[in-house]
A and B are shown apart, each in its own frame.
Chain A
Amino acid sequence: AQTVTQSQPEMSVQEAETVTLSCTYDTSESDYYLFWYKQPPSRQMILVIRQEAYKQQNATENRFSVNFQKAAKSFSLKISDSQLGDAAMYFCAYRSTGLSGGGADGLTFGKGTHLIIQP
């Protein structure tokens, strides 16, 4: 079974600075998806960024970018120019494509990192 590990339960960053959230995962598959989701106190899970494992290029969405290291099974999220609205729980998630015949058991989530933005 796949596992996702977020080793930082909580991170704090000054407004306008850059912060990196760590995520590692374990899988025997070669084709899969990785996601970062944000969950503010309103509890709505919001997709931040998505990466397909077969793509070498790191995904980027405005101030959010990832460092995808497939061999190391690492998928960190970098938030540049942090804003107060970025404060939330951030979850890293994995999903198999199911194309290797093993099925795709939905999203497997890490335990989350609570990101605090200091004004």
Chain B
Amino acid sequence: KAGVTQTPRYLIKTRGQQVTLSCSPISGHRSVSWYQQTPGQGLQFLFEYFSETQRNKGNFPGRFSGRQFSNSRSEMNVSTLELGDSALYLCASSLVGARGRNYGYTFGSGTRLTVV
């Protein structure tokens, strides 16, 4: 069974540019969430999608956005990049059962974004 696939693995961008990161969940997983990991702030929740709808969003500026497609694949976009956006971006998919019970998140290997 294929795991969660994130592309690209590494990315270097210049301040002011925009970037799109991709995440393909495990087959059958309809919930996808995104996290930012930095040495200073640790792991922070960005947003969560289920069946193409954003269910929740963390405390990040509007420059951070995402979407989910009908095949459950998800993308996140960061516009007008700042130096502080340099981080490891992790995507996780989960199987959601009856009454929304969550059976645990499986993470991808992440995209390392460096803004220069």
Contact = CB atoms under 8 A, between A and B. Distances in A.
A43 B110 CA distance: 8
Contacts of B46: 106
Contact of A107 (B33, B99, B101, B110): B33
A105 B45 contact: yes
Contacts, number: 61
A45 B92 contact: yes
Nearest to A91: B43
Chain A interface, DSSP helix/strand/loop, else mixed = loop
A97 to B, nearest CB: 7
A35 B107 contact: no
Interface string B99-110: 111111111111
> How many of chain B's residues touch chain A, expressed as a range?
20 to 34
B5 to A, nearest CB: 12
Interface residues of A, number: 25
A99 B102 CA distance: 11
Contacts of A105: 45, 48, 56, 58
B102 A106 contact: no
Contact of B55 (A95, A104, A111): A104
A110 B101 CA distance: 22
A5 to B, nearest CB: 12
A-B pairs, top 10 by smallest CB distance, nearest first, are: A106-B45, A45-B107, A109-B43, A50-B104, A105-B56, A106-B33, A44-B109, A106-B48, A47-B104, A111-B42
